[in-house]
Amino acid sequence: MRAIRFTATALAMSAMLDGCTTRVADLTVASSKNVNMNSGQFSEGRRVSGSDSIPVIIIPLGQPNIKEAIDRAIEKDQCAVGLSNVVIDQEFFAFLFGMVQFTAEGNLIIDNGKPGCGGYVQTRSAPPQAYAQPTYAPSKEQQIQQLQQRNLPYDQYQQEYRRIMGN
Protein backbone atom coordinates (compact mmCIF):
# COMPACT_ATOMS: atom_id res chain seq x y z
CA MET A 1 0.00 0.00 0.00
CA ARG A 2 2.82 2.33 0.86
CA ALA A 3 4.54 1.65 -2.51
CA ILE A 4 1.35 2.53 -4.42
CA ARG A 5 0.96 5.78 -2.47
CA PHE A 6 4.63 6.68 -3.12
CA THR A 7 4.27 5.93 -6.87
CA ALA A 8 1.07 7.99 -7.14
CA THR A 9 2.71 10.90 -5.31
CA ALA A 10 5.81 10.69 -7.52
CA LEU A 11 3.67 10.71 -10.70
CA ALA A 12 1.63 13.67 -9.46
CA MET A 13 4.79 15.61 -8.57
CA SER A 14 6.40 14.94 -11.95
CA ALA A 15 3.21 16.06 -13.73
CA MET A 16 3.23 19.30 -11.73
CA LEU A 17 6.90 19.95 -12.43
CA ASP A 18 6.42 19.53 -16.15
CA GLY A 19 6.36 22.71 -18.23
CA CYS A 20 3.89 23.39 -20.93
CA THR A 21 4.57 25.25 -24.17
CA THR A 22 1.66 26.41 -26.30
CA ARG A 23 1.74 28.06 -29.70
CA VAL A 24 -0.27 31.27 -29.41
CA ALA A 25 -0.04 32.64 -32.95
CA ASP A 26 1.50 32.26 -36.41
CA LEU A 27 1.74 35.67 -38.10
CA THR A 28 2.97 36.71 -41.53
CA VAL A 29 4.13 40.13 -40.28
CA ALA A 30 4.30 41.62 -36.79
CA SER A 31 5.57 45.00 -35.65
CA SER A 32 5.10 47.28 -32.71
CA LYS A 33 7.26 50.01 -34.27
CA ASN A 34 6.36 52.87 -36.62
CA VAL A 35 6.93 51.60 -40.17
CA ASN A 36 7.19 53.79 -43.26
CA MET A 37 5.28 51.56 -45.68
CA ASN A 38 6.29 53.81 -48.61
CA SER A 39 10.00 53.23 -48.02
CA GLY A 40 10.34 50.55 -50.68
CA GLN A 41 13.77 49.65 -49.28
CA PHE A 42 12.88 46.62 -47.17
CA SER A 43 14.98 43.47 -46.95
CA GLU A 44 14.75 40.30 -44.88
CA GLY A 45 17.27 39.80 -42.10
CA ARG A 46 18.34 36.95 -39.87
CA ARG A 47 15.98 34.92 -37.67
CA VAL A 48 15.78 36.25 -34.11
CA SER A 49 13.74 35.71 -31.00
CA GLY A 50 12.77 37.81 -28.02
CA SER A 51 10.91 36.97 -24.85
CA ASP A 52 9.13 38.51 -21.89
CA SER A 53 8.67 36.51 -18.71
CA ILE A 54 7.44 36.91 -15.17
CA PRO A 55 8.20 34.80 -12.12
CA VAL A 56 5.73 32.55 -10.33
CA ILE A 57 6.03 32.29 -6.58
CA ILE A 58 2.97 30.27 -5.62
CA ILE A 59 0.97 32.64 -7.88
CA PRO A 60 2.08 34.53 -11.03
CA LEU A 61 3.57 37.92 -10.11
CA GLY A 62 2.21 39.76 -13.13
CA GLN A 63 1.42 39.07 -16.78
CA PRO A 64 4.03 38.72 -19.54
CA ASN A 65 3.49 40.94 -22.57
CA ILE A 66 3.53 39.80 -26.22
CA LYS A 67 4.36 43.34 -27.39
CA GLU A 68 7.45 43.38 -25.18
CA ALA A 69 8.59 40.03 -26.60
CA ILE A 70 8.18 41.35 -30.18
CA ASP A 71 10.01 44.60 -29.26
CA ARG A 72 12.96 42.67 -27.82
CA ALA A 73 13.24 40.60 -31.00
CA ILE A 74 13.05 43.65 -33.30
CA GLU A 75 15.62 45.57 -31.24
CA LYS A 76 18.31 43.00 -32.02
CA ASP A 77 19.08 45.16 -35.11
CA GLN A 78 18.93 48.97 -35.16
CA CYS A 79 17.61 49.01 -38.74
CA ALA A 80 14.79 46.52 -38.10
CA VAL A 81 11.18 47.71 -38.10
CA GLY A 82 9.31 44.40 -37.78
CA LEU A 83 9.31 40.62 -38.04
CA SER A 84 8.10 38.28 -40.77
CA ASN A 85 7.07 34.61 -40.50
CA VAL A 86 6.44 35.08 -36.79
CA VAL A 87 5.72 32.35 -34.26
CA ILE A 88 4.55 33.34 -30.78
CA ASP A 89 4.71 30.74 -28.00
CA GLN A 90 3.68 30.81 -24.37
CA GLU A 91 5.63 28.72 -21.89
CA PHE A 92 4.35 27.96 -18.42
CA PHE A 93 6.23 26.15 -15.69
CA ALA A 94 5.27 26.30 -12.04
CA PHE A 95 5.10 24.28 -8.89
CA LEU A 96 5.39 26.77 -6.05
CA PHE A 97 8.15 28.49 -8.08
CA GLY A 98 8.41 28.90 -11.82
CA MET A 99 7.74 31.28 -14.69
CA VAL A 100 5.33 32.32 -17.39
CA GLN A 101 6.90 33.49 -20.64
CA PHE A 102 5.96 34.71 -24.14
CA THR A 103 8.50 34.17 -26.92
CA ALA A 104 8.32 35.84 -30.34
CA GLU A 105 10.51 34.39 -33.10
CA GLY A 106 10.74 35.64 -36.68
CA ASN A 107 12.86 37.02 -39.52
CA LEU A 108 13.86 40.67 -39.16
CA ILE A 109 12.38 43.17 -41.61
CA ILE A 110 15.19 45.66 -42.31
CA ASP A 111 14.36 49.16 -43.57
CA ASN A 112 17.43 50.26 -45.54
CA GLY A 113 15.82 53.69 -45.98
CA LYS A 114 16.38 54.59 -42.33
CA PRO A 115 19.34 56.91 -41.67
CA GLY A 116 22.50 54.90 -41.10
CA CYS A 117 21.05 51.71 -42.57
CA GLY A 118 22.60 51.60 -46.01
CA GLY A 119 20.26 53.97 -47.77
CA TYR A 120 20.22 57.75 -48.14
CA VAL A 121 21.58 59.38 -45.00
CA GLN A 122 20.38 62.88 -44.23
CA THR A 123 22.37 64.81 -41.65
CA ARG A 124 20.69 67.24 -39.30
CA SER A 125 22.86 70.14 -40.49
CA ALA A 126 21.67 69.84 -44.10
CA PRO A 127 18.83 72.25 -44.89
CA PRO A 128 15.57 70.76 -46.11
CA GLN A 129 15.37 70.54 -49.90
CA ALA A 130 12.66 73.23 -50.05
CA TYR A 131 14.99 75.80 -48.44
CA ALA A 132 18.25 74.82 -50.14
CA GLN A 133 19.95 77.51 -52.22
CA PRO A 134 20.56 76.66 -55.87
CA THR A 135 24.14 75.53 -56.36
CA TYR A 136 24.48 76.28 -60.09
CA ALA A 137 26.72 79.15 -61.18
CA PRO A 138 25.51 81.37 -64.00
CA SER A 139 27.63 81.34 -67.14
CA LYS A 140 29.91 84.26 -68.02
CA GLU A 141 27.43 85.44 -70.62
CA GLN A 142 24.62 85.49 -68.05
CA GLN A 143 26.81 87.33 -65.54
CA ILE A 144 27.71 89.99 -68.16
CA GLN A 145 24.03 90.45 -69.06
CA GLN A 146 23.23 90.95 -65.37
CA LEU A 147 26.14 93.41 -65.08
CA GLN A 148 24.85 95.44 -68.02
CA GLN A 149 21.42 95.73 -66.41
CA ARG A 150 22.88 97.21 -63.20
CA ASN A 151 23.74 100.60 -64.75
CA LEU A 152 27.05 101.01 -62.90
CA PRO A 153 29.56 103.81 -63.41
CA TYR A 154 32.24 102.97 -66.03
CA ASP A 155 35.08 102.29 -63.55
CA GLN A 156 32.95 99.98 -61.42
CA TYR A 157 31.61 98.26 -64.55
CA GLN A 158 35.18 97.60 -65.79
CA GLN A 159 36.20 96.18 -62.41
CA GLU A 160 33.23 93.79 -62.32
CA TYR A 161 33.80 92.83 -65.97
CA ARG A 162 37.43 91.85 -65.24
CA ARG A 163 36.34 89.81 -62.20
CA ILE A 164 33.81 87.90 -64.31
CA MET A 165 36.26 87.27 -67.14
CA GLY A 166 38.96 86.19 -64.70
CA ASN A 167 41.50 88.90 -65.63
Distance CA 102, CA 97 (A): 17
Q: Which positions ≥6 away from 12 have C-beta within 8 Å?
A: none
Collapsed DSSP state (helix, strand, coil) of residue 135:
coil
* pLDDT for residue 70: 93
In angstroms, the first-to-last Cα distance of the chain is: 118
Per-residue pLDDT tens digits for 90-131: 998 877 888 999 999 999 999 888 877 775 444 444 444 544
pLDDT at residue 39 tops 50: yes
Q: What is the mean pLDDT of residues 44-70?
A: 91
Q: What is the mean pLDDT of residues 120-147?
A: 59
What is the layout of strands, in order, in the sheet containing 80-95?
20-30, 80-95, 97-111, 42-57, 59-60
Q: Dihedral of CA 109/113/117/118: which sign?
A: positive
Tell me which CATH code domain 19-111 carries: 3.30.110
Question: What backbone phi and psi angles, to 5 degrees, belong to 125?
Answer: -75, -20
Distance CA 107, CA 146 (A): 61
Span of 2-6, 42-46, 91-95, 128-132 with lowest mean pLDDT: 128-132
Confidence tier at 51 by pLDDT (50, 70, 90)? very high
Q: Which of 43, 46, 35 is nearest to 81 (CA)?
A: 35
Per-residue pLDDT tens digits for 9-33: 665 555 555 568 888 889 999 998 8
Domain boundaries, the chain: 19-111, 138-165
Distance CA 90, CA 23 (A): 6
Q: Which of 48, 77, 86, 51 is nearest to 66 (CA)?
A: 51
* Stronger pLDDT, 103 or 132, i.e. the higher one: 103
* pLDDT for residue 137: 61
* Stronger pLDDT, 41 or 65, i.e. the higher one: 65
* pLDDT for residue 14: 58
* pLDDT for residue 122: 42
* Stronger pLDDT, 152 or 104, i.e. the higher one: 104
